[in-house]
Amino acid sequence: MEPILINGRFTTQNITGVQRFATELSSALVSGTSRRVSLLAPHGAAPKADTYQIGRAQGHLWEQWDLPRLRPPGILLNLGNTAPILARRQVAVIHDCGVFSTPEAYSAKFRLLYKAMHTALIRRGTPIVTVSEFSKSEILRHLPARPDQISVMPEGADHVARIGEDPSILARHGLAPGKFVLAVGTLSAHKNLAGLQSLATCLAARNIPLVIVGQLGNQVFRADGTALLPHPAQYIGRVTDEALKSLYRAAACFVFPSKYEGFGLPVAEAMASHCPVVAADIPALREIFGSAALFCNPHDPEHITATVIGVLDNPALQDQLRERGQKCTAAMSWARAASTMVAIIDRIFPRQVHE
């Protein structure tokens, strides 16, 4: 059988939702398929089992030049929104079409690169996999793809159960269990953290912190001193997986106001950590999480605030959301995701058994 060769460029990048997807799916493929699975990475990647470092370049140059030239025979699987344009016998995962639908969230250079790359991959007939029916519809809307060129697969959430906890994060930041609201995001415009300003003000009046986790740098205020992000709030930056799990488990509510997502992995992680979730009422989150979350209008800060306060003031609703979240994420396993991916690859490239 042809081996699956995973594009390991993601191993040199900071962990966000895309890199988490790639890491967990790669591990599940290595342990859960009869095909041989190898991960090809640039030099400098963290050494792991079944990982082979090839080439001398880094970043896009490694992916576009070294990877297609130096890879051994097999089916190349690209998990992180990019892929070598000239490679054949490959599959590319495109998680969403944010560069088209929310251009304000990306630099001009980034938008140009990704639009050109995705268009070239589609025109060359590269099979595409995405993570929701919504994302499939977005790809068909923005790119010259055929419906049969795009497959949909699920994501997993069971990695949360394998992560330990670090409850010391609470003491370090003066947080009491059940006495704060948690948000996870970045400065990207579509993450809509600025939409939590009304909520931050309302919570402060109740002496309840709004805690925001993520890579934000020092850009909490504009040059003129006005708030770029909600204030007052506790910004604690990037944290370990263990610390984040403890924050999920201790929060009275997790709020996710994003205006655009292809899947929404932080929502799944919060639910798998027994945290009630208030999520933006956008197509992908409705599709994936259904009645397991309470939905709010991400374009209406007052509605976000009212929805979160409604959860805080209703312990019975909190318990219902925890139960629904657990049921929703119970079926989200990376083994199931890997099995679906292998089935897609088998359909596209029927297995060839060599004597």
- Structural domains of the chain, ranges and CATH numbers in brackets: 4-156+333-348 (3.40.50.2000), 159-330 (3.40.50.2000)
Of the listed ranges 33-47, 90-104, 222-236, the least confidently predicted one is 222-236
What is the rounded average pLDDT for all residues in the chain? 93
The 10s digit of each residue's pLDDT in 215-256 is 875 444 444 333 468 989 999 999 999 999 999 999 999 999
Number of residues that this document lists for the chain: 355
pLDDT of residue 224: 38
> ω into residue 283 within 30 of 0, thus cis?
no
Global confidence as pTM = 0.92
Q: Which two tokens stand for residue 123?
A: 């025109």
pLDDT of residue 225: 37
pLDDT of residue 13: 86
Helix axes 334-348, 17-32, angle to 10 degrees: 80
CA 94 → CA 26, 30, 68, 132, 340, distances in Å?
A: 16, 21, 19, 10, 16
**Residue-wise DSSP of 12-70:** GS---HHHHHHHHHHHHHHHH-SS-EEEEE-TTSPP-TTEEE--S--HHHIIIIIHHHH
Coil/strand/helix, residue 227: strand
Residue 261 has pLDDT above 60, yes or no: yes
pLDDT of residue 351: 66
Q: Predicted confidence band at 43 (pLDDT cuts at 50, 70, 90)? A: confident
More confident residue, 99 or 351: 99
Q: In the chain, what is the straight-line distance between the N-terminal and C-terminal CA atoms, in Å?
A: 9
How many whole angstroms from its chain centre is CA 161? 17
Q: Which two tokens stand for residue 212?
A: 């925001």
Cβ-Cβ contacts under 8 Å for 21 (sequence gap 6 or more): 79, 80, 93, 95, 131, 155, 265
pLDDT of residue 157: 97
Q: Which two tokens stand for residue 116?
A: 């050109």
Distance from C-alpha of 150 to C-alpha of 117, rounded to nearest angstrom: 16
Residue 86 has pLDDT above 70, yes or no: yes
Residue 326 has pLDDT above 90, yes or no: yes
Of the chain, the percentage scoring pLDDT greater than 90 comes to 85
Helix axes 265-272, 17-32, angle to 10 degrees: 70
Kind and range of the H or E run holding 10? none
pLDDT of residue 20: 95
